[in-house]
């Protein structure tokens, strides 16, 4: 596509109709438009000297003219010429504006609309690579429990619950409930340290004690309270020691499982950490390779795009030069009056 074809494609016909390779330059058209304006002013001045009639008044035995109106012999000719002058002036002004607009359109048109030969192929560039997210896995107690055999898990849960409940009977606590207790007792409320409480009560047991007993009103009487033991002190002590021994046995077995589970968790988490480091290192390597390839592709794309843009800008420049050389075309209907103006007021060189 040559510069003329590009110009005709980009600039609307309402502007190109005024322009051609032959005609008046913008400066010549502007000069001629100014000369036409002067000629129209001369015609307007002539028309101001005429009227439909002239008036006189008879004063002191003579006629005195009241105006300076005169008849214009060629009134028809200059009236028609005034209209032609207006038409020529309008055409010239529109033509000058059309050329300025055409140049502006070429200069402001998106550079990608200018066709070029041997255009560099632009391969689409994907989004830049992202570093693969590597998540550090955590091996939890639940994971370790799930890997126990059915028999081991049953025993673990049993000794955990038994140890917890025996501990509550033997040792008072702050009222908190651990996971094992929650699994086994649900919503049942049990008093902590009951066996210890019985042992302590019987250690301090007295068969009798004194107290003041109210007889009504302000009358009180000192009375003897008789206490009856519900359990033998030695039996409760024996039960306490028995439960304590059983609790230690459960605790030992529970600690065995806890140690086993802890070691399993530690071992697995070491494996997960090592795997995480390997995967992270591999992800970084893959990311660097991908970024290197992407940057090379981006460089090729930007280079090709820059070369295409440079070539398109050169085409734009050539089209702009072509438009700058175009002239204001003179319609056949206005040619004779344009030539007449040129003869009356030639352009100074």
- Residue 69, SS3 per DSSP: coil
| pLDDT at 181 (0 to 100) | 46
The runs of H, that is alpha helices, within the chain are 3-10, 13-16, 26-48, 75-108, 141-146, 150-170, 179-185, 194-203, 233-325, 332-344
Residue 142 belongs to some domain of the structure: no
> How would you write the pLDDT of the chain (349 residues) with one tens digit per residue?
899 999 999 999 999 999 999 999 999 999 888 888 888 888 788 788 878 878 888 788 888 887 787 887 887 777 878 888 888 889 999 999 999 999 999 999 999 999 998 888 888 888 899 999 999 999 999 999 888 889 988 888 888 888 888 888 777 653 444 554 444 444 333 456 787 888 888 888 888 888 887 777 677 788 888 888 888 888 888 888 888 888 888 889 889 989 999 999 999 999 999 999 999 999 999 999 999 999 999 999 999 999 999 999 999 999 999 999 999 999 888 888 888 887 776 655 4
Instruction: State the residue for tokens 């304006």.
Output: 37
- What is the number of structural domains in the chain? 1
Residue 59 belongs to some domain of the structure: yes
Q: Output the CA–CA distances (angstroms, integers) from residue 28 to 84, 100, 193, 202, in the order listed.
A: 19, 15, 118, 132
The C-alpha atoms of residue 249 and residue 25 are separated, in whole angstroms, by 115
Residue 228 belongs to some domain of the structure: no
The runs of H, that is alpha helices, within 171-232 are 179-185, 194-203
The C-alpha atoms of residue 178 and residue 170 are separated, in whole angstroms, by 16
H or E, element range at 219: strand 219-226
Residue 77 belongs to some domain of the structure: yes
Find the domain containing 12 and state its range: 3-130+322-344
The C-alpha atoms of residue 160 and residue 255 are separated, in whole angstroms, by 9
Residue 81 belongs to some domain of the structure: yes
Instruction: State the residue for tokens 């000192």.
Output: 222
Residue 218 belongs to some domain of the structure: no
| pLDDT at 278 (0 to 100) | 95
Residue 335 belongs to some domain of the structure: yes
- Paired with 219 in beta bridges are 216
Beta strands 19-20 and 327-328, pairing class: antiparallel
Residue 237 belongs to some domain of the structure: no
């Amino acid at each position: 596509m040559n510069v003329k074809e590009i110009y005709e494609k980009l600039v609307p016909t309402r502007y190109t109709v005024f322009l051609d390779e032959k005609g008046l330059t913008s400066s010549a058209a502007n000069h001629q438009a100014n000369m036409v304006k002067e000629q129209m002013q001369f015609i307007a001045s002539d028309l101001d000297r005429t009227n439909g009639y002239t008036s006189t008044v008879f004063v002191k035995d003579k006629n005195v003219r009241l105006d300076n109106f005169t008849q214009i012999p060629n009134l028809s000719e200059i009236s028609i010429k005034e209209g032609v002058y207006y038409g020529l002036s309008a055409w010239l002004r529109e033509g000058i504006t059309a050329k300025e607009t055409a140049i502006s359109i070429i200069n402001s048109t998106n550079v990608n609309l200018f066709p070029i030969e041997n255009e560099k192929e632009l391969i689409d560039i994907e989004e830049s690579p992202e570093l693969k997210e590597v998540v550090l896995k955590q091996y939890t107690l639940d994971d370790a429990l799930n890997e126990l055999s059915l028999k081991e898990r049953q025993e673990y849960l049993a000794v955990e619950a038994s140890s917890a409940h025996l501990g509550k009977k033997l040792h008072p606590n702050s009222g908190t409930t651990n996971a094992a207790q929650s699994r086994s007792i649900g919503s049942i409320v049990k008093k902590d340290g009951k066996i210890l409480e019985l042992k302590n009560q019987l250690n301090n047991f007295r068969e009798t004690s004194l107290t003041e007993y109210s007889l009504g009103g302000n009358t009180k009487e000192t009375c003897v309270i008789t206490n009856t033991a519900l359990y033998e002190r030695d039996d409760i002590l024996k039960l306490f020691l028995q439960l304590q021994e059983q609790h230690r046995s459960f605790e030992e077995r529970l600690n065995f499982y806890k140690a086993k589970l802890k070691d399993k968790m530690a071992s697995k988490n070491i494996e997960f950490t090592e795997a995480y480091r390997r995967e992270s290192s591999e992800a970084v390597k893959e990311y660097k390779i991908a970024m290197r390839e992407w940057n090379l592709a981006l460089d090729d794309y930007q280079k090709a795009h820059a070369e295409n843009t440079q070539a398109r800008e050169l085409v734009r420049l050539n089209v702009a030069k072509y438009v700058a050389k175009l002239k204001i075309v003179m319609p056949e209907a206005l040619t004779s009056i344009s030539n007449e103006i040129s003869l009356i007021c030639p352009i100074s060189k």
